[in-house]
Structure formats: C-alpha cells, structure tokens
Amino acid sequence: MPTFDNPVADATEASAALRGLAHATRQFTDPADTYPVIGDLLSGVRSLRQVLDQLAAAHIAPRARAHDDAGNQATGATSALAAADELHQAGTLLDSVAWRLDAASQHSGRIAWHPAPDPADAGAGRTSVQAGTLTLTVWPDEPLGQHQRYAYLIEHRDSGQSIQGRDLFTGAGAPVSPERALRDLAAYLTAAGDAHQHATDNGTAYEGPFDEWTADVARQNSDALTELADRGPQGPAPTVGEAAGVRWISVVFLQGSEAYEVLDLIDREGTDAAIEHLAGFDYGEETVQTALENGYVYDEPPTGALDKVATRDVYTLTYNPFLGHVSLLREHGALPDPALLGIDTPIPAPASTAASARVAHQPARANTQAANRERGAGDWFTRRPGAATAQGRGLAL
C-alpha cells in the first residue's frame, strides 16, 4: 500500500507493481481489459511526470549541501544541476508518451470486442497433441474457394501465450486427416525454429512462416516437434508384426551434394531416370526391415508444400529443388519391375544376402553406393523423407 509520505518506500512499491504489470500483460484473456489498463497507465505517466519535476527540484534547492567524494562543493553543485536538467528532459519526453497514450485510449475506447468462441465449438473435429511445452490443435476450417484448409492453435504451456491461424491449406479437394495436418504443422514449426536459430547464429534478421516468438519456442521444442513431424501423433512406429497396414517404406533420403546430383539428373533426363538411379538403393527385404526398425514407414508418401512428386511402378519420388533433398519410397509388400532394378528377372534372396545380390545386378551407376552400403559407409536414414517446409505467407499441406 502507498505511504504517501515515504518516497523511498513508495518508489520501491511502484517498481514492484510495474514488474507485476509487465508479467500480467503478457496475455489478455479479454481484450476489452486493455482499455482500463491504458487509462491507468496514462494516469501513472502523468504522475511520473510530476515525480520527475519534483526530483529535479529536490536537486536544485539544497545544492549548497552537494559535495563530491573529495569534499569539493562546487563540483557537487554542478552535478546536482546536471541531474536536475536530465530529469527535466525526461519529464519533457514523458509529455509525448502521455499524448500517445491518450490517443491510444481514445481509439481503444471505440472498439466493441465480441466474445471469443468457446474453444470446444471453435471448429468440428478438433485434434490436439503435446510437443514438449507446446500444445498443437487443428480443426477443419471453412474452405477458401477451391482450397480446403485447417485452422490451428499453438499454445505455450509455461507462459500461457498462444497463436492461432487459418492458413494451413490442404489444396483442392477434401481435407487431409487431422493427424496429417498436425504432422505438417509440426514440420513448419521445426523449419521456423531452424530459421530462428540460423538468424541468431549469423546475426541476421529472422524470416519464416511464423512470428519470432513462435519460432523461438519452436526452437526450444525442436526435438519434440521433429519427433511429431516424423511419426505423427498416432504413437510409435509399427513393429514388424504390424507392418501389414503400412503402405510406404523409405528406400533412401538424400540431401546436400548427393541430392543435387539427383536433382541435376532430373533436370537432364527426367524423373524416370532419377527413380531408376535411386532404385539401386533398394535391397528388398533388408530395406523393409531397416525402415521398420527406424520408424520410416508411412500411411502415404510424406510431402511438404514445395515438394514435387513423381511415381513409377511401385516407387514414389519426392524432391525439392529449393531445400535440396530427394526421397524415394516404395509401396510396402509390392515388388518392383525387374527392369527398373537393372536385372532380367526377380531373384528372391534372404535378408542376409539381399545386399550382395543387389551389388551384382544393380545398374553400374549405383554400384559404388551399394558397395559403400556393404561396408557400412553412410546412413541412408539419418533424416526423414519429405521434411519439406514452406516459407510463404500461407502454410500448405
């Protein structure tokens, strides 16, 4: 409580009150509460203006008593006058703050805030999942022209802050499953977190699909978001016994210089040539087992907004010239055309000999890669396929 006669005690209390206000205003449950807060701030600034003038006067009137540490009165008086001048200057600047607050109060007073929709009724089919300290929620939103879309809500458990959007587009046709929307939203957040980290490391301005606060908390939850983007909210990857329901397995994922070699091949000879080339990484049952063990199995080929997709036989190729990655997936349980693998007839082989058989029969341009695989060089599954993200104004599935 203010004492009205002890400036030191009241200043300490005012400082604590402002710290509390700074904490409390991080989030407004009702935006209509902003109007009275602005009014109280305006009153506080006007009082602070008076305090500054009175502090200046308190330096001027008793300046004859002012000395420096060496006991020099002239130097002490000079410092007292300088402090008073700075306080007067601060008070003059506060006049502008008061004018701006007064104008803001008038504008805010003209707003008729409508009640927020009940979260339970904000959209049909709401689906939520926890990713670290973030709660992600999606639900089908109204179509925009021919484009279907999801709305989403991102909430931070610790600070209570949240962000909501309606720009998670699914393209033309029926909306995708909520689980797929959550997975893609996590991929966008992962990309935003990476962009924020890159900007921080290089001292550049952050540019990404979300605001800087969202990108920062996404960076803090990067592991959980990556896990969600990889496997979705359904739970752990299926085991070998559960593989009957799996539609696609990852054959190979390339990025960096290896991916750009394949992207150049696509430019020169087309996607069929790239699929033939990447099919050299398919070791039959060994590839299936490796994908199952590492969780790289999907209900449908995972793609991002900027990914391009091509199919041939049982293979699906996804590639992204902008982000520099290439992925080949095969339909689980289906055998590819032998000609596509560079062999005359399919030769069944147990998992233990599948790799050696592939080395003997694969196209020459894949021999080196297969030999490296035999020696254990390189890990084809160090990054999930289709982890593409967009940095446009809208988020697209």
208 or 92, which is more confident? 92
- Of 171, 199, 231, which closes a domain? 231
Same domain, 323 and 286: yes
182 or 351, which is more confident? 182
pLDDT at 363: 36
pLDDT at 209: 75
pLDDT at 86: 94
Q: Indicate whether 59 pLDDT > 90.
A: yes
pLDDT at 79: 93
Same domain, 374 and 244: yes
Over 292-349, what HEC string results?
HHHCCEECCCCCCCCCEEEEECCEEEEEECCCCEEEEEEECCCCCCHHHHCCCCCCCC
pLDDT at 232: 66
Same domain, 249 and 367: yes
Question: Is 335 domain-assigned?
Answer: yes
Same domain, 264 and 370: yes
Q: Indicate whether 319 pLDDT > 80.
A: yes
Question: Is 245 domain-assigned?
Answer: yes
Q: Do residues 386 and 308 make contact, with C-beta atoms less than 8 angstroms apart?
A: no
Give the rounded distance of the alpha carbon of 131 from its chain centre: 11
pLDDT at 211: 87
Question: Is 272 domain-assigned?
Answer: yes
pLDDT at 52: 92
Q: Indicate whether 58 pLDDT > 90.
A: yes
- Can you tell me the mean pLDDT for 87-91? 92
Question: Is 2 domain-assigned?
Answer: no
pLDDT confidence bin for 65, thresholds 50/70/90 = very high
- Can you tell me the mean pLDDT for 345-352? 42
148 or 139, which is more confident? 139
- Can you tell me the mean pLDDT for 145-156? 79
**Picking from 287-291, 331-335, 388-392, which range would have the lowest pLDDT averaged per residue?**
388-392
Same domain, 246 and 188: no
Same domain, 382 and 246: yes
Question: Mind listing the pLDDT tens digit for each residue in 218-235?
Answer: 999 988 888 888 776 654
Question: Is 34 domain-assigned?
Answer: yes
Q: Indicate whether 74 pLDDT > 50.
A: yes
pLDDT confidence bin for 172, thresholds 50/70/90 = low
Q: Indicate whether 378 pLDDT > 50.
A: no
pLDDT at 377: 38
Same domain, 268 and 356: yes
Q: Indicate whether 8 pLDDT > 60.
A: yes
Same domain, 201 and 87: no
Sign of CA dihedral 374, 246, 190, 226: negative
Same domain, 376 and 246: yes
Question: Is 115 domain-assigned?
Answer: no
Q: How far is CA 196 from CA 200, 206, 219, in A?
A: 6, 6, 7
Same domain, 251 and 366: yes
Same domain, 225 and 266: no
Q: Indicate whether 320 pLDDT > 60.
A: yes
- Can you tell me the mean pLDDT for 323-337? 82
pLDDT at 386: 37
The winner for highest mean pLDDT among 109-123, 196-210, 223-237 is: 196-210
The winner for highest mean pLDDT among 166-175, 259-268, 281-290, 343-352 is: 259-268
Same domain, 244 and 164: no
- Can you tell me the mean pLDDT for 288-292? 80
Question: Is 139 domain-assigned?
Answer: yes
For the chain, how many structural domains are there in total?
3
Q: Indicate whether 370 pLDDT > 80.
A: no
pLDDT at 124: 54
Q: Do residues 351 and 285 make contact, with C-beta atoms less than 8 angstroms apart?
A: yes
Instruction: Give the Cα-Cα-Cα angle 164, 167, 169 (nearest 5 degrees).
Output: 135
Q: Indicate whether 15 pLDDT > 50.
A: yes
Question: Mind listing the pLDDT tens digit for each residue in 115-142?
Answer: 765 544 444 568 888 888 899 998 888 7
Tell me the residue range of the domain where 19 lies.
Answer: 7-109
Question: Is 221 domain-assigned?
Answer: yes
pLDDT at 238: 43
Average pLDDT, the chain: 76
- Of 231, 254, 288, which closes a domain? 231
**Sheet strands side by side (includes 325-331):** 297-298, 248-255, 325-331, 315-320, 308-312
Q: Indicate whether 176 pLDDT > 80.
A: no
Question: Mind listing the pLDDT tens digit for each residue in 243-286?
Answer: 344 468 888 888 888 889 999 999 899 888 998 888 888 888 88
